[in-house]
Amino acid sequence: MKKRRPGLVACCLLTALALSHAALAGDSSPADRAAARALFDQARSLVAEGKLAEACPKLEESQRLDPGMGTAFNLADCYEKMGRTTSAWTIFLEVASQARGAALAEKEKVARERAAALEPKLSRLAVMVPQSSQIPGLQVRRDGSSLGKAMWNTALPVDPGSHKIEVSAPGKRKWTGTVEVPAQSASSTIAVPALVDDTGDADKASSPSSRPSDADSASGSPLGSPKDGSTQRLIGLIAGGVGVVGLGASVVIGLGAKKKVDDASPYCSATVCNDLRGVELRDDARSQANVATVVGVIGTVALAGGAVLYFTAPSGGKGREARRPAQGIAIGPGSMLWRGEW
């Protein structure tokens, strides 16, 4: 009787596994089960030949068509051989849980041992979302799957290789970054920057209807001056001086922004910052660059307006009293119009 016991145990295990497989596959049609079996057999042959890249997808499809612990176990084994440690670890634990529910102690033991052997080798990735970036409606996705807020700033097991991070929020431009996670217990991080506003069509040039017409310019009060034009020239000089100061300030602020970009270089690659310090420096640089642009535009407009006022100021003399040139300047959104009559 004792000699028959191992065979009896094996028979019981196989019977229980078959019953559990049948329970899992209750919704599978005969055609699906037949296709799943064919895919499973092909995958096993490919694994034996070392063609893992072809075998794993067939096991995935077999499991989808006809879920079963046996197929899942083989899929986890295929993933492990391909270096997809986290995927293999996860499926081994799922198989162990299913085996426990089916009272398959030996199957559970083997699956848990395989998972335990993989756990020290797992690679991890932390998606760092600083407090300054956590705005209402922020959504973070890793390889297309949503990461809840509880998963931010936490090192989570992932398969080694390239991972795509997508960040979006209402009214903001979508940000996308990629990070390469090494194998064998490696830990990597990727920092999420503050999202910039989505301006949409706001940056487009104003339509012709929004610009001042010639009639509006002519009817408006010209920036006149006394008969000798000295007041107009003085105003032109003041405006030109303001423009020069504005352009100088724009250059200084722009140089400061460039320095912050240079300071961020040790922490950042071309598109991705892997350190919070780098994110902060780049955000500061972006803000300073925007200020430099605005100040530069104001300086340019002031300098141009001052030049127009100065060079169009009338000169004194009795011969010009009867027919004095009339000039006018109008500034509209995105445009400056000067009109004169002689």
Q: What is the rounded CA–CA span in Å between residue 221 and residue 336? A: 16
Q: Quick one: 131 and 219 in the same domain? A: no
Q: Are residues 285 and 320 in the same domain?
A: yes
Residue 184 structural domain: 123-191
Q: Select from 124, 65, 52, 122 the least CA-distant residue to 93.
A: 122
User: What local confidence, expressed as pLDDT, does residue 174 receive?
Assistant: 97
CA distances from 113 to 63, 70, 107 (A): 22, 16, 10
Is the pLDDT at 297 greater than 90? The verdict is no
142-157 per-position pLDDT tens digit: 999 999 999 999 999 9
Q: How many domains does the chain have?
A: 3
Q: Are residues 283 and 240 in the same domain?
A: yes
Say whether pTM exceeds 0.95: no
Least confident of 126-135, 240-249, 306-315, 326-335: 326-335
Pair 156, 167 in one domain: yes
d(CA 165, CA 21): 37
| Lowest mean pLDDT segment, chosen from 84-88, 99-103, 309-313 | 309-313
Whether residues 244 and 331 fall in one domain: yes
Q: Is residue 196 domain-resident?
A: no
Answer yes or no: do 106 and 9 share one domain. Answer: yes
Are 89 and 134 members of one domain? no
Task: Name the domain boundary from 120, 148, 175.
Answer: 120
DSSP track, 190-236: EEPPPPPB--TTTTSPPPGGGSPPHHHHHHSPP----TT-HHHHHHH
- CATH assignment of the domain containing 90: 1.25.40.10
Last residue of a domain, which of 88, 120, 152? 120
Instruction: Tell me: do 213 and 172 sit in the same domain.
Output: no
Same domain, 226 and 293: yes
Calculate the alpha carbon distances from 329 to 121, 200, 209, 218, 318 in Å.
73, 31, 18, 9, 26
CATH number of the domain encompassing residue 164: 2.60.40
Domain boundary, last residue among 105, 120, 135:
120
pLDDT exceeds 70 at position 52: yes
Residues 217 and 332 in one domain: yes
- Return the closest-CA partner of residue 327 out of 211, 215, 224: 224
Q: Is residue 130 part of a domain?
A: yes
Token digits for 215? 């009639």
Does residue 264 lie in a domain region? yes
Q: Distance between CA 280 and CA 288 in Å, rounded?
A: 12
Residues 273 and 212 occupy one common structural domain = yes
Domain match, 220 and 335 both: yes
* 319 belongs to a structural domain: yes
Cβ(39)–Cβ(62) below 8 Å: yes
**199 found inside a domain:** no
Quote the pLDDT of residue 201.
Answer: 57
Greatest mean pLDDT among 171-185, 209-223, 272-286: 171-185
The pLDDT of residue 323 is above 70: no
Per residue in 214-228, pLDDT (tens digit) is 444 444 444 444 556
Dihedral in degrees, nearest 10, Cα atoms 162, 167, 172, 173: 10
Which range of 188-197, 266-275, 308-317 scores highest in mean pLDDT? It is: 188-197
| Assigned domain for 201 exists | no
Using 50, 70 and 90 to split pLDDT, how confident is the model at 84?
very high
Identify whether 200 is part of a domain: no
Q: Cβ contacts of residue 20 below 8 Å, gap of 6+? A: 68, 69, 98, 99, 101, 102, 104
Element (H, E) at 157: strand 155-158
Q: Write b or e for each residue in 182-195: b if 16 or more Cβ atoms lie within 10 A of its Cβ, otherwise e.
A: eeeeeebbbbbbbb
| pLDDT reported for residue 227 | 55
Tell me, yes or no, whether 228 lies in a domain: yes
Of all helices (H) and strands (E), which one includes residue 35? helix 30-48
